[in-house]
Structure 1
Amino acid sequence: MSRRDGALDLLKWLALLAMVLDHLRYVGFSADWLYVPGRLAFPWFCLAMAANLARIGASALPWRYLGWLLLFGAVSEVPYRLFFPEGATLNVLPTLTLGLLVARSWQTPTLEARGLAVGALLLSAWFSAQLMFGFFGVLLPLALLLVIRRPWYFAVLPGVVCVAANQWRALYGAAWLGNAVALWGLVACLLAPVLGLLLLRQAGRIHPPAMRRWAYALYPAHFLVLLVVRQVITQAMR
């Protein structure tokens, strides 16, 4: 990949858009169908992480990358709780942080790296119920890293991991009963890694605005913006 990969920036912007669309379901109007494009957000963020790791190779653990995830994971928890006051999990950044440790440790076959991976996996298993997307969500960056340079059809394997990370029992049960949103949500989970991988390989000529470190602030900021939108809609409906 090039030093500034336009396809990678496009993937990040599309992942951000999918996340915002997913969260629009909670601003006060009925739009359950937004659940379907929302299933693309997390696997595409994980794929962007895997692409960055594949590009820098098996050098030392990118501590700066890890530090930004930890910092904004902490900062984002307050606006996340304001927007989801009854949320049962932490925001998504702790899941991505543990996923980074696991995926990076796979690239770096040292005793320290293996220890970090084992620790991250144990934490993920123990606190799976508190992590957004749970234990399988932590494994998804590694699953994507393993297939990122393989033929596109290998991405079906992380698609299965993505389904497992998205409460597959509830999705499968609802889809079995004929719920169209659940059915298409399952399809979106399965295909998200394939679509993301094809985008990375085919959209290199597109050059959207570069998404740099300032983009971490978009995560907590979008919760605050949507919270204001929800309050405006609530007041207007009274």
Structure 2
Amino acid sequence: MRSAGLDLVKWTAMLTMVADHLRFLWPSADGLFVLGRLAFPLFCLAIAVNVGRVRAGALYTRVNLRYLGLMLLFAVLSEPAYRWLDSGSPTFSVMPTLVLGLLVAWGVHHPLISARVLGIAGLGVGWLFSEQLMYGLPGVLLPGAWLMARRQGGVAWCLPCLLAMGGNLTNSWLQAHLLAPITLLTLAAAALAIPVGWGLLRHDDWAVPAVGRWGYLFYPVHLLVIRGLV
């Protein structure tokens, strides 16, 4: 079922992601980097919502298989575009982190041994390749943390906030300059993404254009467009 609130989350994630990547055109625009910290937690929220909408225990469905297949396909397709735009990046594109996050979220949501195995496998790969993954292990855990926070409420909301901030601290420059104003603003924006995402999701009464499967293609295409403008 279409959710206007979820579409609003996706649009906000895509727009803030584009704003972040516009720094390849204007490298000194630190404000775009800070604004871009909203994008990843919102993409993780979209994954959590999609996982949570499926009945717990109904893991092996055509919908889930298609979801995982599209994520894997565009993880492969996006890597050359990402590498062309940012050849010096020490990490993969964001897509592998989101794929592993999907597996962990399935493990959190579905009370099946096989789902737990998938979740543990995603967690293990995230731990082994944390340095090569954008946002590292905290990023892999974030979709599952979103699920837990939405389910339990209360103090559980601290977990996605902490993971969103921790994912940004996998950036070596931010690690080395913890008290720099840009670092503090970055961490604040990452934490703020959690209440922002929750607020956006509740606006099902807004008229928002639907984000269909073309949203997968948006990621590599926008990287190619920006690279063409550099």
* TM-score, shorter chain, exceeding 0.5: yes
> Which moved further from structure 2: 212-221 or 151-160?
151-160
> Which moved further from structure 2: 118-127 or 143-152?
143-152
Structure 2 match to 1:132: 134
1:172–1:186 contact (8 Å) kept in structure 2: no
Please tell me the root mean square deviation across aligned C-alpha atoms, in Å: 1.7
- Larger C-alpha radius of gyration, 1 or 2? 1
Structure 1 unaligned segments of length 5 or more: list them: 231-238
Structure 2 match to 1:23: 21
CA distance in structure 2 between the aligned counterparts of 1:164 and 1:57, rounded to whole angstroms? 30
> Which moved further from structure 2: 24-33 or 69-78?
24-33
Structure 2 match to 1:187: 188
Aligned-partner residue type, residue 80 of structure 1? Y
CA distance in structure 1 between the aligned counterparts of 2:87 and 2:113, rounded to whole angstroms? 41
SS of 1:204's equivalent?
A: coil
Aligned in 2, Cα 1:152/1:36: closer, same or farther, shift over 3 Å?
A: farther
CA distance in structure 1 between the aligned counterparts of 2:153 and 2:115, rounded to whole angstroms? 28
Alpha-carbon offset, residue 181 of structure 1? 2.1
Alpha-carbon offset, residue 151 of structure 1? 4.1
Structure 2 match to 1:60: 59
Alpha-carbon offset, residue 39 of structure 1? 0.5
Summarize deviations over 1:153-197 as a string: whole Å, max 9, x none.
643321101111112675365352xx3322211111112111111
Alpha-carbon offset, residue 84 of structure 1? 0.4
Alpha-carbon offset, residue 82 of structure 1? 0.5
SS of 2:66's equivalent?
A: helix
Aligned-partner residue type, residue 6 of structure 2? L
Alpha-carbon offset, residue 152 of structure 1? 7.0
> TM-score if structure 2 supplies the norm length?
0.92
Alpha-carbon offset, residue 204 of structure 1? 1.4
Alpha-carbon offset, residue 56 of structure 1? 1.6
1:51–1:148 contact (8 Å) kept in structure 2: no
Structure 2 match to 1:37: 35
> TM-score if structure 1 supplies the norm length?
0.89
Identity among equivalent positions (%) equals 43
What is the aligned residue count? Answer: 225
